[in-house]
């Protein structure tokens, strides 16, 4: 489409927002955009509709069809309301729970959503203030709701906000409801949105749910006597301006810890995230202030959560006295190792336990589980798939933990999403447990490698924007499918898994078998004879293609750790070069 033609279409679309059915503030801002001689801002705001995908919506805040605002949030809520009324037509009262994070406009969007639900005859339980996403998941089940919504854009930049929808089991929505809700939302026109519902159908919730949630969090503690012996370990924690400030220090105290050291500047709740470039605990820059505090007080462990309190970042002091971030795979490894080891030593294993990991997460987790006769399920990226396994297995087997490489872990099934609240409390207990055995958390991690084998992981992504970028990403995937590498760093390829066809092929024997997944996904995996694993997938939310690398190493003593790490890092670099990444 020619640029002039696009601008004309955009102006026509924008002028409809000057109708008095839109509020005055919106009309003024749209008029400002229309009056601007440079049409780029107007075009970006209106050239497409912000898509409601299978996980909800996420976008930059502002006026326009391609922005997060009262009307795009309204369309999402109206579509969800329509679907709930169809799906639960036999219920006397349909109920939803609503939470929000610290972002600018989050409270406004949450309140607007509650009013729209109420206008559709649906009872809305609205938290009185910001709350972590895992508490929203818990509240849905606790209050007997059929759905839930959390207003958050996770760890995206401050200009963004988002809308995530949940089902009655407390998990993000999966098939068939995800696709069906999208269809309902796509039908919604501006005039279809029912705003301004009655106050009597909106119930404000808060402290009572907090207390019930924290009691559940406390129940995850395996060795309270260990915590009692080491209750004063030095724990540095930062919410990075987000919702974790509400409950994570309280959860740590509930476990019995008494020496929680905060970062005052980052306890300030703010959607502007004034002390960081990006509020992402995966990045060392976001944890810089917490690491400075750790050095100042000689902390035993450093933890952070992202703005909506579902991801956990962890830093430990190594044997050289330096605080280092551990990656999401290592965090998940520590959790799985501790949960299985502690349940075994306490005689609590019944033989029907299982864990869940995502397919791009380290195989070390499966190794730990397998050697302890614990079943491990592999699922696609996203905790909704972990929750789906729980839903299918809860009458037969017991879930004891699950996680993914992107800094998310779910220690118990009373939450059906990533849970930094429970995870932070449990990581503090793991630290105390290590100290009880005369080890640091860093040494415990090394000992896991010594017992189960060493591996190193790395993720790298390539950004390709626009239509040409999307085409290039598709071409990269196509080339890898049609021309997979035969050797990587001198090791022959042994296994190829193509999740787009759900086909697993053994290159040594020529045998093929079906991959046990319900649906296809645009993911490729390569496994070499010596144990390297490379996963490739386009991002579902960003213009990126992601490469996940995992290589095996040899470690026979702690003092060889850095040598093994350096060799593994060099191996990953060679494989990346061979793949052109």
Annotated catalytic sites, by residue? 154
Alpha-carbon gap, residue 186 to 292, rounded angstroms: 48
User: Among 360, 363, 400, which Cα is nearest to 382's?
Assistant: 360
Alpha carbon distance 441, 145 (integer Å):
40
What is the maximum span of the chain, computed from C-alpha positions, in angstroms? Answer: 73
Beta strands (DSSP E) in 235-362 are: 235-238, 260-262, 301-305, 312-317, 323-326, 353-358
Three-state DSSP at 116 gives helix
Nearest to 150 by CA among 131, 169, 128, 168: 131
How many whole angstroms separate alpha carbon 71 and alpha carbon 189? 10
Backbone φ/ψ region at 334: left (φ over 0), alpha (ψ -120 to 50), beta = alpha
Element (H, E) at 488: strand 487-488
Going by C-alpha positions, the residue among 355, 362, 379 that lies closest to residue 499 is: 379
Contact present, 160 and 59 (Cβ < 8 Å): yes
Dihedral Cα 166, 167, 168, 169, nearest 10 deg: -80
First vs last C-alpha separation in the chain: 33
- What's the gap between Cα 15 and its chain centre? 38
Distance from C-alpha of 2 to C-alpha of 163, rounded to nearest angstrom: 33
Compute CA 174 distance to the chain's CA centroid, rounded to the nearest angstrom.
15
Radius of gyration of the CA atoms of the chain, in A: 24
Closest CA to 478 of 470, 487, 489: 470
What burial letters (b/e) apply to 43-81, b meaning 16+ CB within 10 Å?
Answer: bbbbbeebebebbbbbbbbbbbbbbbbbbbbbbbbbbbb
Determine contact, residues 70/57, Cβ cutoff 8 Å: no
- Across 239-334, where does the E strand assignment appear? 260-262, 301-305, 312-317, 323-326
Query: Quick check: 524 and 535 in contact, CB under 8 A?
Result: yes
User: How far is it, in rounded angstroms, from Cα 47 to Cα 67?
Assistant: 10
Q: Is 547 helix (H, G, I), strand (E, B) or coil?
A: strand
Residues in a beta bridge with 163: 57, 151
């Amino acid at each position: 489409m020619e640029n002039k033609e696009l601008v004309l279409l955009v102006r026509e679309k924008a002028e409809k927002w000057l109708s008095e059915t839109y509020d005055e503030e919106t009309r003024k801002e749209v008029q400002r955009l229309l009056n601007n001689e440079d049409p780029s801002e107007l075009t970006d705001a209106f050239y497409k509709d912000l898509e409601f995908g299978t996980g909800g919506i996420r976008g930059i805040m502002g006026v326009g069809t391609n922005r997060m605002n009262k009307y795009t949030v309204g369309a999402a809520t109206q579509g969800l309301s329509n679907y709930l009324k169809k799906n639960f037509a036999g219920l006397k009262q349909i109920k939803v729970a609503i939470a929000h994070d610290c972002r600018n406009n989050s409270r406004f969007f949450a309140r607007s959503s509650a009013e729209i639900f109420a206008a559709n005859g649906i009872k809305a339980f609205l938290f009185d203030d910001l709350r972590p996403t895992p508490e929203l998941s818990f509240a849905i089940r606790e209050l007997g709701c059929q759905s839930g919504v959390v207003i958050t854009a996770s760890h995206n930049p401050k200009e963004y906000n988002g809308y995530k929808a949940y089902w009655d089991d407390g998990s993000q929505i999966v098939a068939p409801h995800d696709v069906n809700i999208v269809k309902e939302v796509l039908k919604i026109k501006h005039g279809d949105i029912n705003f301004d519902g009655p106050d009597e159908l909106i119930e404000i919730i808060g402290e009572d749910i907090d207390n019930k949630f924290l009691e559940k969090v406390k129940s995850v503690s395996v060795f309270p006597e260990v915590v009692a012996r080491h209750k004063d370990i030095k724990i540095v924690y930062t919410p990075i301006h987000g919702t974790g400030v509400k409950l994570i220090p309280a959860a740590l105290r509930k476990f019995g810890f008494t020496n929680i050291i905060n970062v005052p500047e980052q306890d300030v709740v703010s959607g502007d995230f004034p002390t960081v470039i990006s509020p992402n605990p995966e990045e060392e820059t976001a944890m810089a202030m917490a690491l400075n505090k750790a050095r100042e007080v000689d902390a035993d462990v450093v933890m952070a959560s992202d703005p909506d309190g579902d991801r956990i970042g962890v830093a430990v002091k190594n044997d050289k006295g330096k605080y280092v971030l551990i990656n999401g795979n290592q965090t998940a490894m520590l959790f799985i190792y501790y949960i299985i080891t502690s349940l075994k030593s306490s005689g609590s294993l019944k033989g029907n336990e299982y864990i869940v990991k995502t397919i791009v997460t380290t195989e070390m987790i499966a190794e730990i589980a397998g050697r302890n006769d614990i079943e491990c399920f592999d699922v696609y990226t996203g905790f909704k798939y972990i929750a789906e396994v729980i839903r299918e297995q809860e009458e037969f087997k017991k879930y004891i933990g699950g996680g993914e490489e992107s800094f998310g872990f779910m220690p118990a099934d009373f939450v059906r999403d990533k849970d930094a609240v429970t995870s932070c409390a449990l990581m503090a207990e793991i630290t105390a447990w290590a100290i009880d055995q005369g080890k640091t958390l860093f040494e415990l991690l090394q000992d896991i490698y010594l017992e189960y084998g060493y591996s190193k992981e790395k993720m790298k992504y390539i950004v390709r924007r626009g239509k040409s970028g999307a085409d290039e990403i598709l071409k990269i995937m196509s080339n890898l499918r049609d021309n997979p590498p035969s050797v990587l760093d001198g090791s022959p390829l042994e296994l190829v898994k193509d999740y787009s066809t759900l086909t697993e092929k053994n290159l040594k024997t020529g045998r093929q078998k079906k991959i046990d997944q319900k649906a296809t996904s645009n993911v490729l995996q390569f496994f070499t004879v010596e144990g390297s694993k490379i996963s490739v997938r386009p991002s579902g939310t960003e213009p990126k293609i992601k490469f996940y690398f995992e290589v095996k190493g040899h470690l026979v003593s702690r003092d060889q750790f850095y040598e093994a790490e350096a060799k593994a890092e060099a191996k990953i670099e060679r494989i990346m070069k061979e793949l052109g990444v």
